[in-house]
Amino acid sequence: MELEDILRERDFRLTRPRRVVWEVLSESERHLSAAEIAEEVHRRDPGINVSSVYRTLALLAELDLVRESRLTETSTWEPAHADAVIHLVCENCGATRHHDAALVEDLRAEIARTADFAPSVIDVRVSGTCAKCPAPSTPR
């Protein structure tokens, strides 16, 4: 389903800022900070201001179309996805990959069973080094 259809179904219009923010997030191969999103949106359309970007991110998150994660010191944004994903974050270049893992759902079930707690969102991060970056040297 297209963004316009989703918004219309929920009684929202597809405005230029909403479309451009969605394009930036959808086209990115990595998680982006709000500042990076605003910068790219402004590059594509200088008439869209930062507050429009933040309002759009808030609306898209409320509609469960995007998700905010805290994978590093800064919050990052991406199109929404199922929880059964582990974020693999490279400590060198900051690249973030998704790794599908049934154990996220196993974790959800375990928490519900043993902790009398119903998780609504599970956001798992594993830090390390991606294949594109040199492995850290081991101290002697």
Specify the 3-state DSSP secondary structure of 42.
helix
- d(Cα 120, Cα 95) in Å, to the nearest integer? 26
The structural architecture, per CATH, of the domain 85-128 is 2-Layer Sandwich (3.30)
Domains 3-79 and 85-128 share a fold: no
CB 87 within 8 A of CB 126: yes
As a whole-number percent, the residues of the chain with pLDDT over 70 amount to 90
What does DSSP assign to residue 47?
A: T
Instruction: List, for residues 89-134, the tens digit of each pLDDT value.
Output: 888 887 788 887 788 888 989 999 999 999 887 878 888 998 999 8
Which CATH code is given to the segment(s) 3-79? Answer: 1.10.10.10
Q: What is the mean pLDDT of residues 45-49?
A: 96
Domain boundaries, the chain: 3-79, 85-128
CB 104 within 8 A of CB 64: no
Does the pLDDT at position 75 exceed 90? Answer: no
pLDDT classification of 139: cutoffs 50, 70, 90: low
Q: What is the mean pLDDT of residues 51-71?
A: 89
Print burial letters for 12-45: b (CB count within 10 Å at least 16), e (below 16): eeeeebbbbbbebbeebeebbebebbbebbeeee
Q: 135: which residues sit within 8 A by CB, 6+ positions away?
A: 129
Task: Output the pLDDT for position 88.
Answer: 87
